[in-house]
Structure 1
Amino acid sequence: MLLTITTTHSPATDLGFLLHKHPDKLQSIELSHGHAHVFYPQAQEDRCTAAILLDIDAIGLVRNGGDRGSESFSLGQYVNDRPYVASSFMSVALSKAFSTAMNGKCANRPELVDVLMPFEVNISVVSAPKGGELLIRKLFEPLGYAVTVQGHTLDAQFSEWGQSKYFTVQLKATTKLKDLLSHLYVLIPVLDNEKHYWVSQHEVEKLLEKGQGWLGDHPEKEQITKRYLRNIAGLTRNALSRLVEGDDAPTNEENDEVDVEKEKLHTKRLKAVLGELMASGAKTVIDLGCGEGKLLKMLLKEKQFVRIVGTDVSHRTLEKAMQRINFYDLAPMQKERISLMQGALTYRDRRFDGFDAAAVVEVIEHLDLNRLKTFERVVFEFARPKTVVVTTPNREYNALFETLKAGDMRHTDHRFEWTRHEFEAWANGVCDRNRYEVQTKPLGDVVEGVGGPSQMAVFKLI
């Protein structure tokens, strides 16, 4: 898959300064499923072209759990168009190869960042299965591009089969390079609508960041937002409301008191857990019930931890965690530090053994009470980390949420929520049965008479 950017600005070789890529060098960037190669087919004073060529490993897409291709036929996982069309893979490649330029930075020639230059972009193949040429024009022409679209037949020898969903696209405009790259980053995957990564709130933030200054005024902003976010209703509503109201609008989908408080509390909780793990001196850590990987991402930033493992019962949730930590784009040494695995906390698993510390963050309340004894044996009797950090909601604090009725729990999947006394009693029982000692602490802002919104127990092996 080839994309080229050409300018006739004088001197045209200023393009090399803006892209931070020397015209005389071939540079390769490692991607999660292949490589992106950046080179210059021509670099003269009057005309300069930078090219980015994607070399996608189609087999690796399947083996590494990425894009699985069409499932409409038996070989769909391996026989697909992903290596040949501009899609979300191209957006990621542009972001990694030209991140400095996309962010509007140029250390050697800062004055070039805001210079309007004539550009011509050629995209060898894009897939536009829903909308075709009309959609391509509706996306790019309002941004000032002169658009040339060449459609392709399914097979030249069988004209009766008609046109394919593939097009070659040329874009021409006089604009800033940073704006051009942002337009391509957002709109290429909008055309294709098949993302190779998990779409979550993080993608809303990226869309708003890259769309700043142009997306809010685009006549097709609703369609762009929907397709970029794979028509996920909650994320789309969130993004569109913030486009209308500005970036200061709340990012929570529900925007109610409980959700706002949970978001603030979650950050405090993770920081507190991280602090306990670091204070323990642990070198190896397992996050039991790692969820979408927020704690794992924080652990990766700390050099103290030489081995980090995340485990969760849900394979889909583990895929989200892989995406959150950008696993396939990590440097080789970082990859060696972390691994994820599927497993349940109610079955003995020898893979849990041998860690200095374990984190169990907001997990136990999702277990049936009659399974807690099994959980206790799995973690404290068999795995036996030197330090175990457990957090769970404090039921007494629920009275402060006006939107919660008496007896309501904070999440529909919670099987129980404990008072401070109940949590301490359980923690002390665990210690008595398994030769640990424990200290319990409130998490979040403490209110007299009810405590904090969440609570933490730090167990130490005796």
Structure 2
Amino acid sequence: MLLSISTTHNPATDLSFLLHKHPDKFQSFETSFGKVHCFYPEASEERCTACLLLEVDPVGMARGRNRSPGDLLSHYVNDRPYVASSLMSVALSQVLGTALGGRCQKQPELVSQPLPLQATLDVLPVRGGDDVLRQLFEPLGYEVQATRQTLDAKFPDWGDSSYYSVTIRGEVTLSQLLTHLYVLIPVFDNEKHYFVGEAEVEKLLAKGEGWLADHPAKNLITRRYLRFRSSLYHQALARLVEEEASNNEPPEEATTPQKSEQQQSLNQQRYAAVLQALLESGAKSVLDLGCGEGRLMRSLVEQQQFRRIVGVDVAIRTLEVASRRLKLEHLPEVQADRVELIHGSLTYRDKRLEGFDAAAVVEVIEHLDPPRLAALERVLFGCARPKTVVLTTPNQEYNVMWESLPAEQFRHADHRFEWTRPQFQAWANQIAETYGYTVTFQPVGPVDDEVGSPTQMGIFRR
């Protein structure tokens, strides 16, 4: 099986820096299923192409397989040595892992730079045909060209096979292209050469971060990637829905104003605004209440100003994901001592939450029923009493800016309410008066003259 990646970026040989593979060398790598060869059939400043060729050992694979006795024939009669499959994903991870992870020491500026890239797979088994190819690649911005192979040229009456030569083109970063291929190749194939367990859920969510939650075919991708194991599928899908909810915005359409805000998602702008407010507060210790999977905490850890960072969430499973995202087990001891994750509810008094300079409450309150919201008010402002509280919530007035969001519908099914700007300000002013704080308000995201910004932020100071 063969994967070729080409670019016409000038100079095109920059591709070799991103791949960490020298264009003048033919390199081979041993794997559990055979050999992977990496080489460049062309490398000029105008055009550069890198190839990954998998030489699969079918006998070795058969010996290593753990299949039931009734399936012995498929050990030896199969298409695995000849088609792009989960074997190709493993090869991408093992041989091009640095590029896949978006790292480049010699030219780091290239990592985040979208390049004109073309990838060709010979051949790809596609269960579902052309429609599935386009359904999965086109929402990611790729132009798709596919040629279907006949089952046997000597017997045209047998018709076409399910195998395609596929070329995709797009203006993306190399890391994005490799990540999309890593996830989607086994999805098209609808098969894997290894056992699919809970580790695959984490792998899918890690590689799908930033694009899978918003993909219109995420259900199909998740179900096939996890080999139709319903428990794993539902677990992964629930977390994808949670990630989509954290973005707290419907799919952006042409009516969304100022979409060019450095192409940042609303979620990224929200975390950036919260981080800036925390930095300006001068806080040394910070609580992230409802920390979820640790997205804000990752930004906090990068700032040396914060000497103690504690994330709190009611979901143990989510805290486990946050721990992996933050790589707590691998942090140096000095760094690890700054960071802590604790399991707790924001509606019950907890002495562990007391004594902090600041607290962040990002897109949390709208998930609470009004009686429980009153409990959070007492716990946060009456008991924990951080000097600064940075709190964000959706602006209900802005919902009209998304044509895809039906009238009178919340942005997410789990929201118990969404406040207008006057409603939020009235609530915040009442909280400030009751508990001895002052509050200022700040818009987050593009601001419309009539309906304001998509997210509203209140900064409480004691």
TM-score (norm 2): 0.55
Report if the CA contact (8 A) 2:314-2:345 is conserved.
yes
Q: Is 1:277 the equivalent of 2:269?
A: no
Distance 2:205 2:309 in 1: 25
Report if the CA contact (8 A) 1:276-1:389 is conserved.
yes
In structure 2, do the counterparts of structure 1 residues 381 and 114 end up closer, same or farther at CA, with 3 Å as the change threshold? farther
Distance 2:290 2:248 in 1: 26
AA of the residue aligned to 2:337: E
AA of the residue aligned to 1:105: H
Q: 1:151 aligns with which of 63, 66, 75?
A: 63
Q: Is 1:105 the equivalent of 2:104?
A: no
In structure 2, do the counterparts of structure 1 residues 404 and 227 end up closer, same or farther at CA, with 3 Å as the change threshold? closer
Deviation at 1:142, TM superposition (A): 7.7
Report if the CA contact (8 A) 2:248-2:394 is conserved.
no
AA of the residue aligned to 1:259: P
Report if the CA contact (8 A) 1:198-1:323 is conserved.
no
Partner of 2:325: 324
Classify the secondary structure of the residue corresponding to 1:458: strand
1:188-227 equivalences under 5 Å are 191-196=194-199, 198-204=202-208, 226-227=225-226
Classify the secondary structure of the residue corresponding to 2:269: helix
Distance 2:381 2:314 in 1: 19
Q: 1:259 aligns with which of 251, 258, 273?
A: 251
Distance 2:19 2:285 in 1: 39
In structure 2, do the counterparts of structure 1 residues 433 and 264 end up closer, same or farther at CA, with 3 Å as the change threshold? same
Q: 1:182 aligns with which of 68, 82, 95?
A: 95
Number of aligned residue pairs: give it: 301
Report if the CA contact (8 A) 2:248-2:412 is conserved.
no
Distance 2:207 2:266 in 1: 22
Report if the CA contact (8 A) 2:286-2:306 is conserved.
yes
Classify the secondary structure of the residue corresponding to 1:304: coil
Classify the secondary structure of the residue corresponding to 2:413: coil
AA of the residue aligned to 1:104: L
In structure 2, do the counterparts of structure 1 residues 145 and 281 end up closer, same or farther at CA, with 3 Å as the change threshold? same
Distance 2:59 2:17 in 1: 24
1:329-368 equivalences under 5 Å are 329-368=330-369
For residues 22-45 of structure 1, the C-alpha deviation after alignment (integer angstroms, 9 at most, x for no partner) is xxxxxxxxxxxxxxxxxxxxxxxx
Report if the CA contact (8 A) 1:288-1:310 is conserved.
yes
Q: Is 1:430 the equivalent of 2:431?
A: yes
For residues 31-75 of structure 1, the C-alpha deviation after alignment (integer angstroms, 9 at most, x for no partner) is xxxxxxxxxxxxxxxxxxxxxxxxxxxxxxxxxxxxxxxxxxxxx
Classify the secondary structure of the residue corresponding to 1:258: coil
In structure 2, do the counterparts of structure 1 residues 146 and 411 end up closer, same or farther at CA, with 3 Å as the change threshold? same
Q: Is 1:412 the equivalent of 2:413?
A: yes
Structure 1 unmatched runs, 5+: 1-100, 125-140, 155-159, 172-177, 209-221, 237-250
Report if the CA contact (8 A) 1:102-1:179 is conserved.
no
Distance 1:358 1:424 in 2: 19
Partner of 1:375: 376
For residues 179-224 of structure 1, the C-alpha deviation after alignment (integer angstroms, 9 at most, x for no partner) is 683389969x96232353724543236999xxxxxxxxxxxxx999
In structure 2, do the counterparts of structure 1 residues 456 and 190 end up closer, same or farther at CA, with 3 Å as the change threshold? farther
Deviation at 1:123, TM superposition (A): 7.6
Partner of 1:397: 398
1:131-150 equivalences under 5 Å are 143-149=54-60
Distance 1:452 1:205 in 2: 25
Partner of 2:292: 291
AA of the residue aligned to 1:300: V
Deviation at 1:225, TM superposition (A): 7.2
AA of the residue aligned to 1:115: K
Distance 1:310 1:229 in 2: 34
Classify the secondary structure of the residue corresponding to 1:391: strand
CA RMSD of aligned residues (A): 4.6
Q: Is 1:116 the equivalent of 2:26?
A: yes
1:66-85 equivalences under 5 Å are none
Classify the secondary structure of the residue corresponding to 1:404: coil
Deviation at 1:121, TM superposition (A): 3.9
Q: Which moved more, 1:262-271 or 1:435-444?
A: 262-271
Deviation at 1:376, TM superposition (A): 0.8
Distance 2:345 2:93 in 1: 47
Classify the secondary structure of the residue corresponding to 2:251: helix
Distance 2:457 2:65 in 1: 63
In structure 2, do the counterparts of structure 1 residues 294 and 190 end up closer, same or farther at CA, with 3 Å as the change threshold? farther
TM-score (norm 1): 0.55
Partner of 1:301: 302
Percent identity, aligned pairs only, is 41
Report if the CA contact (8 A) 1:358-1:385 is conserved.
yes
In structure 2, do the counterparts of structure 1 residues 399 and 319 end up closer, same or farther at CA, with 3 Å as the change threshold? same
